A and B are shown apart, each in its own frame.
Chain A
Amino acid sequence: DAKTTQPNSMESNEEEPVHLPCNHSTISGTDYIHWYRQLPSQGPEYVIHGLTSNVNNRMASLAIAEDRKSSTLILHRATLRDAAVYYCIPLNSGAGSYQLTFGKGTKLSVIP
């Protein structure tokens, strides 16, 4: 399994953009990069995923480095509701069970 490295914590001001980095230098060619987040006292919530190209959805954008050894989750305007732990998870598209392997993630604090 590919290993990931994320900062333990980050802070952002409300309504500012936030860039959450993730290093995954051992990622394989068939590993997609998934991001989930977990709000306090809730179950994880899917945010976005990608393989090689940058991806956008209503929640966030995902920028993937050309060598795929790192990626950045971008929240365009942080709100208080975005305060959560963010997990970067490589997931092999060929795996039969799609098991997610969670590390400790990055705890994002949003300052009003």
Chain B
Amino acid sequence: NAGVTQTPKFRILKIGQSMTLQCAQDMNHNYMYWYRQDPGMGLKLIYYSVGAGITDKGEVPNGYNVSRSTTEDFPLRLELAAPSQTSVYFCASSYSFYEQYFGPGTRLTVT
């Protein structure tokens, strides 16, 4: 199993540009999550999904959108990138309550 994969690993965006961060898991997990981590801080939840077709906002959803058309994929869309969205983005998945598996992260810089 590849686990949770994320692409790209790094990206530099100009202010106002848009992009999609890709996340895929091959463990048939129902639950998927997007977190962001600013320097020296803990992770904050952006969006989550409890199954295909079902998504909901987390703590910091402004400026982002998600979709979940399949069990495996959970892309995160940034519209009109702003410097405040400079961060490391982590995708995670879980079967249930006990253990979340995290991807390696996408390091995004908006200038």
Contacts and interface: CB of A to CB of B under 8 A. Distances in A.
Interface of A: 32, 36, 41-46, 49, 87, 91, 93, 96-105
B74 to A, nearest CB: 13
Interface residues of B, number: 28
Contacts of B77: none
Nearest to B99: A46
B41 interface: yes
Given A43-B4, A98-B31, 17 more contacts: A36-B100, A43-B102, A43-B103, A44-B43, A44-B90, A44-B100, A46-B98, A49-B98, A93-B97, A98-B94, A99-B33, A99-B45, A99-B58, A100-B35, A102-B43, A104-B42, A105-B42
Contacts of A93: 97
A43 B48 contact: no
Contact of B97 (A44, A98, A101): A98
* Shortest 7 CB-CB contacts between residues of A and residues of B: A102-B42, A43-B102, A102-B43, A46-B99, A43-B90, A44-B102, A99-B45
Contacts, number: 57
Interface SS of A by simple majority: loop
Contacts of A99: 33, 45, 48, 58
Interface string B46-86: 00101000001011000000000000000000000000000
